[in-house]
Protein backbone atom coordinates (compact mmCIF):
# COMPACT_ATOMS: atom_id res chain seq x y z
CA UNK A 1 0.00 0.00 0.00
CA UNK A 2 1.52 3.29 -1.16
CA UNK A 3 0.14 6.11 1.03
CA UNK A 4 -0.08 9.87 0.64
CA UNK A 5 -0.59 12.13 3.69
CA UNK A 6 -2.16 15.58 3.23
CA UNK A 7 -3.73 18.31 5.37
CA UNK A 8 -6.97 19.90 4.18
CA UNK A 9 -9.76 22.01 5.51
CA UNK A 10 -13.30 20.89 4.68
CA UNK A 11 -13.74 23.51 1.96
CA UNK A 12 -10.57 22.26 0.23
CA UNK A 13 -11.75 18.66 -0.13
CA UNK A 14 -12.71 17.34 -3.54
CA UNK A 15 -16.06 15.57 -3.80
CA UNK A 16 -14.29 12.19 -3.83
CA UNK A 17 -12.12 13.05 -0.81
CA UNK A 18 -15.16 14.29 1.11
CA UNK A 19 -17.13 11.16 0.27
CA UNK A 20 -14.41 8.64 1.14
CA UNK A 21 -13.33 10.52 4.30
CA UNK A 22 -16.83 10.50 5.79
CA UNK A 23 -17.58 7.03 4.45
CA UNK A 24 -14.52 5.78 6.38
CA UNK A 25 -15.58 7.55 9.57
CA UNK A 26 -19.08 6.08 9.29
CA UNK A 27 -17.63 2.60 8.68
CA UNK A 28 -15.37 2.76 11.73
CA UNK A 29 -17.41 4.71 14.27
CA UNK A 30 -21.01 3.88 13.38
CA UNK A 31 -20.84 0.41 11.81
CA UNK A 32 -17.78 -1.31 13.38
CA UNK A 33 -18.12 0.28 16.82
CA UNK A 34 -21.92 0.18 16.75
CA UNK A 35 -22.28 3.79 17.90
CA UNK A 36 -25.35 5.60 16.72
CA UNK A 37 -24.46 9.29 16.82
CA UNK A 38 -24.03 12.22 14.47
CA UNK A 39 -20.41 11.80 13.40
CA UNK A 40 -20.17 14.86 11.16
CA UNK A 41 -20.56 17.94 13.34
CA UNK A 42 -19.91 21.68 13.36
CA UNK A 43 -16.30 21.11 14.42
CA UNK A 44 -15.60 19.58 11.00
CA UNK A 45 -16.24 22.97 9.35
CA UNK A 46 -13.18 24.59 10.95
CA UNK A 47 -10.97 21.60 11.72
CA UNK A 48 -7.97 20.66 9.64
CA UNK A 49 -8.25 17.08 8.44
CA UNK A 50 -5.37 14.72 7.83
CA UNK A 51 -6.20 12.51 4.88
CA UNK A 52 -4.23 9.34 4.26
CA UNK A 53 -4.97 8.18 0.76
CA UNK A 54 -4.01 5.06 -1.14
CA UNK A 55 -2.09 6.35 -4.16
CA UNK A 56 -3.55 3.54 -6.27
CA UNK A 57 -7.15 4.77 -6.10
CA UNK A 58 -7.00 7.98 -3.98
CA UNK A 59 -9.44 6.47 -1.48
CA UNK A 60 -9.09 7.83 2.07
CA UNK A 61 -7.88 4.89 4.18
CA UNK A 62 -7.18 6.82 7.38
CA UNK A 63 -8.00 10.22 8.82
CA UNK A 64 -8.04 12.43 11.88
CA UNK A 65 -9.00 16.01 12.60
CA UNK A 66 -7.37 18.80 14.60
CA UNK A 67 -8.97 21.89 16.05
CA UNK A 68 -8.14 24.60 18.56
CA UNK A 69 -9.42 23.88 22.03
CA UNK A 70 -9.52 25.91 25.22
CA UNK A 71 -6.59 27.51 27.04
CA UNK A 72 -4.15 27.09 24.13
CA UNK A 73 -4.61 23.33 23.97
CA UNK A 74 -5.37 21.76 20.61
CA UNK A 75 -7.56 18.72 20.19
CA UNK A 76 -6.99 15.65 18.00
CA UNK A 77 -10.05 13.56 17.30
CA UNK A 78 -11.93 11.28 14.93
CA UNK A 79 -8.87 9.09 14.43
CA UNK A 80 -9.98 6.35 12.02
CA UNK A 81 -8.07 3.74 10.03
CA UNK A 82 -9.67 1.41 7.47
CA UNK A 83 -9.34 -2.31 8.10
CA UNK A 84 -7.01 -2.77 5.13
CA UNK A 85 -4.60 -0.12 6.47
CA UNK A 86 -4.43 -1.33 10.07
CA UNK A 87 -1.37 -2.94 11.66
CA UNK A 88 0.95 -0.93 9.39
CA UNK A 89 1.84 1.95 11.71
CA UNK A 90 -0.57 4.35 10.00
CA UNK A 91 -2.23 5.53 13.23
CA UNK A 92 1.15 6.21 14.85
CA UNK A 93 2.35 8.09 11.76
CA UNK A 94 -0.85 10.16 11.72
CA UNK A 95 -0.56 11.04 15.40
CA UNK A 96 3.11 12.01 15.05
CA UNK A 97 2.26 14.22 12.08
CA UNK A 98 -0.66 15.75 13.97
CA UNK A 99 1.50 16.62 16.98
CA UNK A 100 4.16 18.10 14.67
CA UNK A 101 1.48 20.22 12.91
CA UNK A 102 0.16 21.46 16.26
CA UNK A 103 3.67 22.35 17.46
CA UNK A 104 3.94 24.76 14.53
CA UNK A 105 0.98 26.82 15.83
CA UNK A 106 1.61 29.84 18.04
CA UNK A 107 1.11 29.77 21.79
CA UNK A 108 0.28 26.07 22.02
CA UNK A 109 0.52 24.59 25.53
CA UNK A 110 -0.36 21.05 24.59
CA UNK A 111 -2.60 18.52 22.91
CA UNK A 112 -5.70 16.89 24.32
CA UNK A 113 -7.59 13.83 23.19
CA UNK A 114 -10.65 11.90 24.27
CA UNK A 115 -9.25 8.40 23.87
CA UNK A 116 -11.16 5.18 23.76
CA UNK A 117 -9.96 3.35 26.86
CA UNK A 118 -8.69 0.29 25.00
CA UNK A 119 -6.20 2.57 23.20
CA UNK A 120 -4.69 3.96 26.43
CA UNK A 121 -1.34 2.15 25.98
CA UNK A 122 -1.05 3.29 22.35
CA UNK A 123 -1.54 6.96 23.25
CA UNK A 124 0.70 6.64 26.31
CA UNK A 125 3.46 5.33 24.00
CA UNK A 126 3.17 8.66 22.15
CA UNK A 127 3.70 10.63 25.36
CA UNK A 128 0.08 11.32 26.32
CA UNK A 129 -0.84 11.27 30.01
CA UNK A 130 -4.16 10.36 31.56
CA UNK A 131 -6.04 13.49 32.68
CA UNK A 132 -9.44 12.11 33.71
CA UNK A 133 -11.16 9.08 35.07
CA UNK A 134 -12.87 6.76 32.64
CA UNK A 135 -16.28 7.86 31.33
CA UNK A 136 -18.74 6.60 28.73
CA UNK A 137 -19.10 8.55 25.49
CA UNK A 138 -21.43 7.32 22.75
CA UNK A 139 -21.66 3.97 24.53
CA UNK A 140 -17.89 3.37 24.69
CA UNK A 141 -15.45 3.83 27.61
CA UNK A 142 -13.14 6.81 27.13
CA UNK A 143 -10.65 8.83 29.10
CA UNK A 144 -9.12 12.23 28.54
CA UNK A 145 -5.40 12.43 27.89
CA UNK A 146 -3.02 15.33 27.39
CA UNK A 147 0.38 15.84 25.85
CA UNK A 148 2.10 18.93 27.29
CA UNK A 149 4.27 20.71 24.72
Please give the Cα distance from 124 to 102 (Å, whole number). Answer: 18
pTM of the model: 0.94
Our count of domains for the chain comes to 1
Distance from the Cα of residue 71 to its chain's centroid: 20
**CATH for 101:** 3.40.630.30
One digit per residue, pLDDT tens: the chain, 149 residues? 899 999 999 999 999 999 999 999 999 998 999 888 888 899 999 999 999 999 888 889 999 999 999 899 999 999 999 999 999 999 999 999 999 999 999 999 999 999 999 999 999 999 999 999 999 998 899 999 999 99
Q: Which residues partner with 137 through β-bridges?
A: 140
Residues with Cβ within 8 Å of residue 51, at least 6 apart in sequence: 5, 6, 7, 8, 13, 17, 21, 60, 63
Domain range for 134: 3-148
Amino acid sequence: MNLNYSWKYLKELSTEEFFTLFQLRQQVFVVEQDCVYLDMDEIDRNAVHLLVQDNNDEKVVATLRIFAGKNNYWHIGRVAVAIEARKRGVAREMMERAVAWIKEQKGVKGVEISAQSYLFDFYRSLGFQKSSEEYVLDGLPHLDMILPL
